[in-house]
């Protein structure tokens, strides 16, 4: 049962009693007689909710028609009308919930600029978001879910375009141990705002406006989830060690190479840097040639493990850049190595 029905359900029941002799279609027509709120955004939102009410009535979903009628009426009155929270609905699909939470977070960020500069588009996005919530909770009409979602995305895109909001924005996320950093957003016209609390968010449009909007931690995480997924994983180095004066691979070396190849396979566009080294037990020239042979051995093993050679960056360093500094002529096992760095 929808959690928000405790607030809206009583009003809906009362309206049903008052209009019990009317069909839902007639109720929609009666509601249309309510004067529009003078603010363009509220007037547009009133119309958008009325469209949804008529659609639900045509599908014989009288309860949801009534709910959208009440939202339309609220838009016409001097009352707060904010996008409903996802928690107000019992949505079992975790992916759908995450999508809706991200959508609401983005919608909230549009209000400062969009309400005045793109009222029609913002109203479409707002009403369609609540339509999407409704259909997602019902969960048995994929076409209707898609219809609402597509309308939301269209309204969102139009709001960004018409209000000049396609610009830089940021969200402050908590780091390891709860550490919170800070972001200063600055516009071309010199306006600035400091975001220095967890979940603080803001955007800079193409003009002088720098806007901030508070979001819950879950909403800030949801709205940044796509960007976080696109961030490359941290680079990781795999060390392959060799016997003295040799370029042969033992089982430990092959395990390290296999791990590097598997890491590269998990990255969408990996770079695989292969650096070969030698210790200082021989002369410079022979050590450089030895490091070349070690690089060649690792390259061949990576190819055998499925790595793509187009991603390779290969260098032989000889006895330069030792892991452990030693005098000339000293053998050191930790310097007889190839470093595979996957990034």
Parallel/antiparallel/unpaired status of strands 272-276 and 337-342? antiparallel
Q: What is the pLDDT of residue 19?
A: 38
Parallel/antiparallel/unpaired status of strands 272-276 and 312-316? parallel
Cβ atoms of 23 and 61 within 8 Å: the answer is no
Helix locations, 203-305, DSSP H? 217-223, 225-230, 251-265, 284-304
CA separation for the pair 107, 159 (Å, rounded): 10
Q: What is the pLDDT of residue 191?
A: 74
Q: Where is the domain boundary, 191, 207, 230?
A: 230
Tokens found for residue 216: 């819950």
Query: In this structure, are 158 and 177 located in the same domain?
Result: no
Query: In this structure, are 148 and 181 located in the same domain?
Result: no
Query: In this structure, are 154 and 282 located in the same domain?
Result: no
Query: In this structure, are 240 and 226 located in the same domain?
Result: no
Q: What is the pLDDT of residue 113?
A: 80
Query: In this structure, are 256 and 194 located in the same domain?
Result: no
Query: In this structure, are 11 and 116 located in the same domain?
Result: yes
Q: Where is the domain boundary, 196, 215, 230?
A: 230
Cβ atoms of 340 and 240 within 8 Å: the answer is yes
**Number of domains into which the chain is organized:** 3
Residues in CB range of 316: below 8 A, 6 or more apart: 275, 276, 288, 291, 292, 294, 295
337 forms beta bridges with: 241
Q: What are phi and psi of 250, to 5 degrees?
A: -90, -175
Residues in CB range of 157: below 8 A, 6 or more apart: none
Cβ atoms of 311 and 241 within 8 Å: the answer is no
Q: What are phi and psi of 172, to 5 degrees?
A: -90, 120
Query: In this structure, are 13 and 104 located in the same domain?
Result: yes
CATH number of the domain within which 245 lies: 3.30.1330.60
CA separation for the pair 84, 213 (Å, rounded): 16
Q: What is the pLDDT of residue 150?
A: 87
Q: Where is the domain boundary, 162, 186, 206?
A: 162
Query: In this structure, are 135 and 86 located in the same domain?
Result: yes
Full pLDDT tens readout for the chain, 343 residues: 344 433 333 333 333 333 333 445 555 454 555 565 678 898 889 989 999 999 998 888 888 999 999 999 888 886 678 899 999 899 999 999 999 999 998 898 888 788 888 888 899 999 999 999 999 999 988 999 999 998 898 888 788 877 776 656 667 777 667 777 787 877 777 777 788 877 776 666 555 455 555 555 655 665 565 556 556 788 999 999 999 999 999 999 999 999 999 999 999 889 999 999 999 999 999 999 999 999 999 999 999 999 999 999 999 999 999 999 999 999 999 999 999 999 9
Query: In this structure, are 300 and 218 located in the same domain?
Result: no
Burial class (CB in 10 A: 0-12, 13-18, 19+), 42: buried
| Residue positions counted in the chain | 343
Query: In this structure, are 192 and 265 located in the same domain?
Result: no
Provide the CA 273 distance to its chain's centre, in angstroms: 30
Q: What is the pLDDT of residue 122?
A: 92
Q: What is the pLDDT of residue 194?
A: 81
Which residue's structure tokens are 């793109």?
Answer: 118
Per DSSP, which regions of the chain are E strands?
169-171, 183-186, 192-195, 200-204, 210-214, 236-241, 272-276, 312-316, 337-342
Tell me the C-alpha to C-alpha distance, in Å, between residue 185 and each of 88, 89, 169, 226, 280: 33, 34, 8, 21, 52
Query: In this structure, are 95 and 178 located in the same domain?
Result: no
Cβ atoms of 277 and 319 within 8 Å: the answer is yes
Residues in CB range of 159: below 8 A, 6 or more apart: 110, 114, 118, 121, 122, 125, 165
DSSP 174: B
Query: In this structure, are 128 and 45 located in the same domain?
Result: yes
Q: What is the pLDDT of residue 186?
A: 74
Tokens found for residue 276: 């070969």
Q: What are phi and psi of 125, to 5 degrees?
A: -65, -45
Supply the range of the domain harboring residue 200: 169-230
């Amino acid at each position: 049962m929808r959690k928000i029905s405790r607030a809206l359900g009583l009003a809906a029941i009362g309206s049903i009693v008052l209009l019990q002799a009317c069909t839902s279609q007639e109720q929609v027509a009666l509601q249309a007689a309510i004067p529009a709120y003078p603010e363009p955004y509220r007037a547009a939102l009133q119309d958008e909710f009325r469209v949804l009410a008529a659609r639900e009535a045509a599908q014989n979903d009288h309860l949801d028609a009534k709910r959208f009628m009440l939202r339309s009426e609220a838009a016409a009155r001097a009352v707060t009308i904010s996008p409903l929270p996802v928690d107000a609905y019992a949505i079992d699909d975790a992916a759908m919930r995450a999508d809706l939470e991200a959508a609401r977070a983005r919608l909230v960020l549009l209000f400062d600029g969009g309400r005045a500069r793109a009222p029609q588009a913002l109203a479409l996005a707002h009403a369609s978001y609540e339509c999407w919530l409704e259909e997602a909770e019902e969960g048995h009409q994929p076409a209707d879910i898609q219809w609402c979602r597509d309308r939301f995305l269209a309204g969102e895109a139009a709001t960004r375009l018409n209000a000049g909001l396609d610009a830089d924005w940021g969200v402050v996320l908590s780091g390891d141990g709860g550490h919170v950093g800070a972001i200063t957003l600055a516009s071309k016209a010199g306006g600035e705002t400091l975001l220095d609390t967890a979940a603080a968010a803001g955007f800079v449009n193409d003009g002088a406006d720098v806007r901030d909007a508070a979001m819950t931690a879950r909403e800030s995480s949801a709205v940044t989830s796509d960007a976080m997924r696109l961030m490359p994983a941290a680079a990781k180095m795999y060390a392959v060690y060799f016997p003295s004066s040799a370029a042969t691979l033992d089982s430990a070396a092959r395990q390290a190479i296999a791990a590097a190849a598997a890491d590269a396979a998990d990255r969408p566009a990996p770079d695989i840097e292969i650096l070969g080294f030698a210790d200082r037990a021989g002369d410079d020239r022979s050590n450089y040639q030895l490091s070349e042979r070690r690089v060649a051995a690792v390259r061949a093993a990576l190819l055998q493990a499925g790595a793509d050679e187009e991603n390779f960056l290969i260098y032989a360093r000889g006895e330069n850049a030792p892991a452990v500094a030693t005098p000339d002529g000293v053998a050191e096992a930790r310097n007889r190595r190839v470093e595979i760095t996957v990034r």
